[in-house]
Every structure is written in structure tokens, then in C-alpha cells.
Structure 1
Amino acid sequence: MEEGKLIHMTLAGIKEAVSKYGIFPMIQPGGFVLEDATFEFNEPATEEEIRKLKSHFNVSLPKDYEEFLALHNGMKFFDGVEILSIEDVLEYNETEDLPENCFLIGYHFDGRYLIDTKQYEKGLDFMFYLDAIDHFDEAIEVAPNFEIWLDRLVSSNGFKYWEINKDVKLYYENMDLEETPYD
């Protein structure tokens, strides 16, 4: 699949579900529906705004992130996750202490999402997550690119999918069940 196409599919899927059902139901582990997710899409960024972002950081933007901006200049979803508008990216990065070619693009409740354009230019994974007070050397790689990160985040109902514990017993314990099949 060509880079940038998955972003279209993911956004179209969200919009179709909301249009069809009026909501985006969030199924939690164990099949429980805890809440309905909200999605707020900003209007598209202009070519001039995108050029301004590239120029400000003196970088080439990842194609899928640039494609997202051309569709929606920011987005709020899952009542605590936000992809910043270009204006907010420029403003909020003024106070960030990040390596050259890295910049903040969004928030996840108490954490931050970053793009490392050096990694992108080398063809390496470039989406990272930082807790609110962490420094970049503590960043967690969360996806190879923007569109896979967004697709996984939506597929996991906004959960930090990279933190899911693979230990079966802990999985059951985290669901707060009285008894697990492995007790």
C-alpha cells in the first residue's frame, strides 16, 4: 500500500461509523462498552500553512502526516487525545526541549506524541511517545509512521497499545475479574 493511503482509510472508517451509528462505540477488554468516543476534525490545512511548518523546522514532513494535515489540520478524539493543528505545533514546540528535527505533534492525556524527521529521512520508524515529564532519550517508539500509529490507536480505542502486557495472567487481572482461568 502506498504511504498516505491508510490515513484516508482510517479517517473514512471513523466517519462512516459515526455517520452510521451516530457514535463511535468503544469496546473494552472483556466486551464491555464503557463510553462512546467523540471525534472533532479540524478543517484542512492550506498548502501555505504546511509550507510554513516545513520551513519553521527546516524539515521534510513524512508524507502520511502531511496528507493528514491536508485533510484535517488537527483532530481531537477519545476525550483526551489530540493531534495538534499546525498553529499549535508551532506554538507548543517553543517550550519543548527536543533534539533537532524532532517536534511535538500531539497529546495523549498526560503524554506527548513526537515525530523524528531524521529517522523518517533514513527510512526508519519515526513516531514516538513521551510521558509528560520525560526527556527525549526516554521516548518510546510507538509506530513506524504516522498513519500506522493513528490506525493502531483508533483500533485500540485510544489505549496505549504499546503498553499492553503480553502476560496472560496479568491481562486477566487488569480486566478486574474475580477469578481468572489461570488461577
Structure 2
Amino acid sequence: MKNILSQLALDGLKKRLDENNQLLVQKWEGLVYPTKFTFNSPATLEMIEEFLRDTQWHLPTDYKNFLLIHNGAWLFEGVRYGGGYELLSLDEIKNSHLDYMPKHWYPISVSNGDYIFIDSNRAKEGKVDYLVRFNHDDDIIPENGSSMKMNFETWLERLIIAQGTEFWTW
């Protein structure tokens, strides 16, 4: 069963996009600018099973359901200035996990050098606060990770509501 929150948030976002997959967003201090969105085609169950066999990581249900809708995406990419949130595809996740990263954490999003990881051990235990964030200035070691205290579905919905603003730093 698909998580309704993710699907509703994505559907609502897509309804607001223009014919070029762009959206005018308002940020702090009245800044208004166009952002664009790119959605990859869905992952198949076979792709997900191969990923799990190859990596031995655990996929939380809400994140797996997102992959079955879009195997990666670019969200809130600034038309003029870049940035935004790259949600990595299964292949990009495997290729982005480097030897110095904790073995049980895998990156799912990159934004201006900041990473968001899934802690596979916490997800396997059924914990809902499995997202970990790293600032681009920090070494990617467990003691520098900042728990986001939420799951992917909550993060995605809030990111859409906050129009691409890093709400977790408020």
C-alpha cells in the first residue's frame, strides 16, 4: 500500500507546475523566483530487489513507495542560480556512497553539497526517525550527523509546503 501523504504532496505540487515544470516560489524577504522540477520514471520492483541484494541496506516503506513513483528527481532547482534538491536514483545512491561514509548510511539527497542519508539500521528496526543530515562543511562521520527526527515522507511533504526552504534549520 502506498503512503498517501507522499502521493498527495507530489500530486498537489505537480498540479501547480506550469507547462515547463516550473513554479514561482516566494522565499524570505520577499524573494520570488522560478524553480523547475524534473521527475525520473519509476523504479521497478526488480530494480529495488537488485539494489537491496547488492547493498544489503534496508529501504523504509515510505521511501520505497516514492521510488516506485519516481526513481529520483530534481526539486526546487533554481532556473537562474541552480541549487535545489537532487533526490538520487537507485544507481546514483550506490555510486554516491563512498568508502569514508558510514557503511549503514546511504545518501538519498544532495543539495549544494549537503547530504541527507537514510540510516539503514534505524529503518530496519522500524524507527521513523531514520533521516540524517550532513552540512557540506562537515566530515561525513557519525558524530557530525544531525538527526532530522523524521522519515522521508514527512520530509518530502514539508519540503514541498516550505517551497524548497530548509525548514529543518528553523
Q: Decide: shared fold, TM above 0.5.
A: yes
Question: In the alignment, does 2:159 pair up with 1:160?
Answer: no
- Structure 1 residue 110: deviation in Å? 1.9
Structure 1 residues 9 and 18, CA gap change in structure 2 (3 angstroms): same
- Structure 1 residue 19: deviation in Å? 4.7
Q: Percent identity?
A: 26
1:18 corresponding residue in structure 2: 17
* Kept in 1: contact 2:21–2:36 (CA 8 A): no
Structure 1 runs of 4+ aligned residues shifted over 4 Å read 19-22
Between 1:81-90 and 1:47-56, the stretch displaced more is: 47-56
2:126 corresponding residue in structure 1: 123
Matched letter for residue 87 of structure 1 = D
Matched letter for residue 37 of structure 1 = T
Matched letter for residue 32 of structure 2 = L
1:99 corresponding residue in structure 2: 102
Relative contact order, higher structure (CA 8 A, sep 6+): 2
How many residues align? The count is 161
* Structure 1 CA distance for aligned equivalents of residues 16 and 36 of structure 2: 11
* Structure 2 CA distance for aligned equivalents of residues 15 and 101 of structure 1: 33
* Kept in 1: contact 2:58–2:121 (CA 8 A): no
Query: Which of the numbers 87, 93, 96 marks the counterpart of 1:89?
Result: 93
Matched letter for residue 17 of structure 1 = R
- Structure 1 residue 97: deviation in Å? 2.2
Taking only aligned residues, the RMSD between alpha carbons, in angstroms, comes to 2.1
Query: Which of the numbers 118, 130, 139 marks the counterpart of 1:134?
Result: 139
1:122-146 Cα offsets, whole Å, 9 max, x none, are 2331011112242232111224211
In our comparison, the structure showing a higher alpha carbon Rg is 1
2:80 corresponding residue in structure 1: none
Superposition TM-score, scaled by structure 1 size:
0.79
Matched letter for residue 145 of structure 1 = N
Superposition TM-score, scaled by structure 2 size:
0.85
Structure 1 residues 55 and 38, CA gap change in structure 2 (3 angstroms): same
